[in-house]
Amino acid sequence: MKLLVTGINGFVAGSILAHARKNWEVHGVDITETAGLPSDIRAHQLDLTDPVKLAELFDQIKPDAVIHTAAIANIDVCENNQDLAWKVNVEITKSLAELCQKNDTKMIVCSTDTVFDGIKGDYLETDASNGVNYYAKTKIEAEKIVLGASSKNIVARLSLVMGLPVLGKGNSFLADMIEKLKKGETVKFPANEIRTPVDVVTLGSALAELAGSSYGGIIHLSGSTKINRYQMAILIAEQLGLNPELIEGTDSNALAGRAPRPNDASMKNDLAVKLLKTPMRTLAEGLDLTLNYKLEE
């Protein structure tokens, strides 16, 4: 069985690759060159916004499943570059969904907890999406495209992803936080944003498992600890023996020049707990897992 993962230089994709290579012939694609991957992962360099080249790659690989992680995920970049955000987050998704539909290929798109407005929290898969920024708007549209293309497709809404890179570098707030705290530098985290953080190792395992499952629809991949981002940083610092007094609380919606954020985007993971063999972990369990994870040869 062949799996195609997009955006393989990203944080989440690296963990997917590490887990999927146990059971799949894994192919990955990214716009930038990829180095340092295990020899059994086949990397392809391609601009996904080119639908002709994307179709050629798809025909070459003939994947049985696709996990689509490639996106512009920076909320403020999306807000300030809306045409580019739409082209990457929506139009690429549409091209992939059409190819998957044509070839009867299962597709998983990685979405986000920020599709919710953050008013009530504890969101279920059945709750209506109502994003408060342009990034959320692109993801809501991408969800509709993927779900509309096939009943076997999956929208995986990811909560705040915590951990250290499994393969490659990726964009890890934890690695940045640890580096700064060890240097004695102050770090700021928003106290107004309540999330259910999921560690990247658990997330990669869950997405690889879903690619081989018969499930279709929306699923929330979130951790089992509901906490605001400032308190989360304090707990992480304490667990790592770093100085929590260097962490300052902020209000992300009071900062000038930034796109609005949902205050409480916490998600319930009951469906994932019921459906998956991969356990959904607490913040402390996930932190321990990511700090001690070793890539299998």
Domain count, the chain: 1
Proportion of the chain above pLDDT 90, given as a percent: 94
Residue 76: give its domain's CATH number: 3.40.50.720
Model confidence band, residue 35 (pLDDT cutoffs 50, 70, 90): confident
Tens digit of each residue's pLDDT (9 = 90 or more) over 104-144: 999 999 999 999 999 999 999 999 999 999 999 999 999 99
* 65 located within any domain: yes
Say what the pLDDT of residue 214 is.
98
Let me know if residue 249 belongs to a domain.
no
Q: Please compute the mean of the pLDDT values over residues 271-292 and round it to a whole number.
A: 97
Cα separations in angstroms, 211 against 63, 67, 108, 257: 11, 7, 7, 39
Is the predicted pLDDT of residue 297 greater than 70, yes or no? Answer: no
Mean pLDDT taken over the chain:
96
Average pLDDT over residues 249-266: 95
Q: Over the stretch 59-106, which tens digit does the pLDDT of each residue have?
A: 999 999 999 999 999 999 999 999 999 999 999 999 999 999 999 999
Domain that holds residue 273: 2-164+193-227+261-292
Q: Flag whether 244 is in a domain.
A: no
Look at residue 116 and tell me if it is in a domain: yes
